[in-house]
Chains A and B, each alone.
Chain A
């Protein structure tokens, strides 16, 4: 079987953990892979997430992206394109002809030196083979207030004005690994997101934790609210996002153990189904207060702090004020997931994600597969497993008659 797939071409759309894993595993089979991402950095959500280790590893898996990236840069079978997105796709006999628009930048020729000069953090992102420009942080792309890279190294000119290129690629198969977007909690005003100071989504906490800039004084109080935009039929979100309980517990543990924060967790059912419970239940009940309730509303209290109103177990209304409220927002099919479903004509499943209703990786189209959270909510570790499953099916497909020319 496998001899026939060497030299076949696959396009992987999305450079998060599922896309990275898919590309790497395909390259191991001798398949030529083009990996694209619309953003200026690799890693997807993981590029923004912080390590949740406290004394020991808490198996969050955020470091996996770095791990796979390093290997990917060593593979000559993987063609990497950042700032690139699919504009159209057409099936032609046994191939897909995919058009992309790309303004990918090469690594900075003198990145190490420039990183010393760069006045902002994270504007030059380092990876094994060099430094890349992150337009989101670079001052030049905000208001042109900094030109150090250009003035000291005029040869970098091209990187600052990369022309948008139209690329066309003929591939044997496509893997859609376009990931998820977090639910926007302002959809329900009662959560107070955007209107009450101190109410944030969990993902918004990540940059501060990643750079260790979390500044709440020890003893301050934080409430996590689980299932925001998950398990909520009224919002048409009749699914569990599966990763947020463990995610919140890990983050809560960092806040409690590293920063002395007092954590309260509002939950319906804790989904700590992982094998080696990241935190044991006794450890958790010592560290956090658990309240089984779904908050009715989050409002601004008289002292300006957010107040959560909920019903106690016996049905009485209770109000509690916290310094900060963190909403554990669920996963939604991302914007690009919806766009790609239109471009390719891939059917979405009952929850609006791509592909089948079960956990499978095949879509309604031959040669188009889905991997990771593009198919449905799952954890980092499960996304890796799903990508491996996807590669298994892609390899079968590539070896089958359908791609033989």
Chain B
């Protein structure tokens, strides 16, 4: 049993958790009810619920501080500010939905309505009710980006209208986003029942408004002639954007990299995870707007959260030496996972530290180290021992990110020369200028820093930092009259060692040429 699994199992017997669900519509309420049903203690903010859980329907989260199991939230309510404590926070607010009136140059009226407005209505307005036959036009992604969620709404509207044979239905669209559950077959169905779809690439329809009536002008490529249509009802589609997550984003120093969402768009952040322990994202907060995918998040949430509720963090978090620390707070402002709290010295929260080592390299005082002793990531010791083992004249030290390059290195072992000495680091972001120079001091003739591609780093900008450090070291080498090209940053993924093999070959060649050049 792994340490992590063990912790989960024992942790589950004592769940003193109190989970804050940030809601705002039925989605938040449904999620909170699901969590409560599974035995978790839940407080729902911004939505009503019929179940017996604690709710603050008119509450708004204005500020939050702290760490997993210890969040302090400031909530604005009708009765003023209240302060509450939570163990975990789930962002399940609804998407912001805005009709594209402005983008199309339209004004809402009895003829021109938004899709949500149209779907909310029980029936047609009186003017249409009295007509034997009438035209309804739907606009679908003619400006901005569209998504399956919007097309799903349009199809719902069409399917409802098609229950009667009085409406004649037109859809004006660019790409139809049918990549959702059953959307393609529903689209075919709508067409077979008579809805007319006009698709455009660049020659988009225009709208003319006179005496309060909107006319659509468009060119149909197939018919090859300009056409016009004055619909009795014009349904305008909507743009989706994530809810306001600023209060929670402030907890995560790396969030500027993935705002307005609270989850980086990266394979490293599957499910509801965010870079900060105890903060989770559901649906729109992570850029998912489709009903069926939101439902999926909600169904997964209780188990997903439960299995992560009591993880005590990675073993051996970073520790700050109070004697060396100058309390400059650089670590706190940089930690990608928001694991460092205010203090003198600042405090690393063990349950939030992902052990990436980024703070170790940004600290100007070298005051931060990993607690676990012996440290499996003792970089200095690794450099010494790897160079002792490497039996060749042209030794190359390769710093390997444990999350990508280390796997790639193992798979490429047979294709790498024996001159390569591996040094595994938790994240490439843990490699400092001084480590690279240490490697040269210990006898390396070249150094590679191998990390993830930007956008794939589990510590968001660890790999960016690594690239910067490598570049800075190259500058330093140049300053002291050494060959700057003896240091390189290489980016790769765990399943593709090719860039590493190429970089080693190139560096080896370069070292060889250099040696001859100095003869």
Contacts and interface: CB of A to CB of B under 8 A. Distances in A.
Interface of A: 1-3, 6, 21, 25, 27-30, 46, 49-51, 53, 55-67, 70, 74-77, 112, 115-116, 118, 126, 128, 210-212, 231, 233, 238-240, 242, 245, 269-271, 273-277, 290, 292, 313-315, 350, 357-359, 361, 376, 380-382, 384-386, 388-389, 391-393, 395-396
30 contacts: A25-B304, A28-B5, A29-B8, A29-B306, A30-B9, A53-B491, A53-B493, A55-B453, A55-B454, A56-B455, A62-B495, A64-B267, A67-B403, A75-B5, A115-B413, A116-B414, A126-B411, A210-B496, A240-B183, A245-B179, A269-B177, A271-B175, A273-B146, A290-B201, A313-B222, A315-B221, A385-B271, A385-B296, A388-B304, A396-B303
B413 A57 contact: no
Contacts of B145: 277
Interface string B171-192: 0000111111111110010000
A70 B407 contact: yes
Q: Which of A21, A231, A233, A385 has the most CB of B within 10 A?
A: A385
B226 interface: no
B304 A238 contact: no
B178 to A, nearest CB: 4
A2 B432 CA distance: 44
B18 to A, nearest CB: 17
Nearest to A25: B307
A146 to B, nearest CB: 15
Interface string B214-238: 0000000110100000000000000
Contacts of A396: 38, 303
Given A53-B456, A385-B271, A357 B300 contact: no
A240 B183 CA distance: 8
A211 to B, nearest CB: 7
B452 A57 contact: yes
A392 B38 CA distance: 11
A53 B182 contact: no
B299 A389 contact: yes
Contacts of B221: 313-315
Contacts of A238: 184-185, 188
B459 to A, nearest CB: 13
A153 to B, nearest CB: 16
Secondary structure dominating the interface of B:
loop
A347 B184 CA distance: 22
Contact of B181 (A56, A59, A75, A358): A358
B181 A395 contact: no
Interface of A is mostly: loop
B404 interface: yes
Contacts of A74: 2
Contacts of A67: 267-268, 403, 494
Report the 6 A-B pairs with minimum CB-CB distance, sorted nearest first. A275-B287, A57-B455, A57-B456, A388-B300, A271-B179, A66-B494
Contact of A239 (B184, B287, B456): B184
A3 B13 CA distance: 7
A313 B201 contact: yes
B303 A29 contact: yes
A59 B410 contact: no
A389 B224 CA distance: 49
Interface of B: 1-2, 4-5, 8-9, 12-13, 38-39, 145-148, 175-185, 188, 199, 201, 221-222, 224, 261, 265-268, 270-271, 286-288, 292-293, 295-297, 299-304, 306-308, 403-404, 407, 410-411, 413-414, 452-456, 491-496, 498
Given A6-B9, A63-B495, A112 B456 contact: no
Contacts of B222: 313-315
A312 to B, nearest CB: 9
A6 B8 CA distance: 11
Contacts of A118: 414
A245 B175 CA distance: 12
B27 to A, nearest CB: 15
Contacts of A385: 270-271, 293, 296-297, 300
A359 B178 contact: no
Most buried by A among B224, B265, B297: B265
Contacts of B13: 3
B300 A29 contact: no
A115 B9 CA distance: 39
Nearest to B410: A126
A291 B12 CA distance: 56
Contacts of B188: 233, 238
Contacts of B1: 75-77
A50 B496 contact: yes
Given A50-B496, A273-B148, A386 B181 contact: no
B267 A381 contact: yes
Contacts of B414: 115-116, 118
A173 to B, nearest CB: 13
Contacts of A21: 270
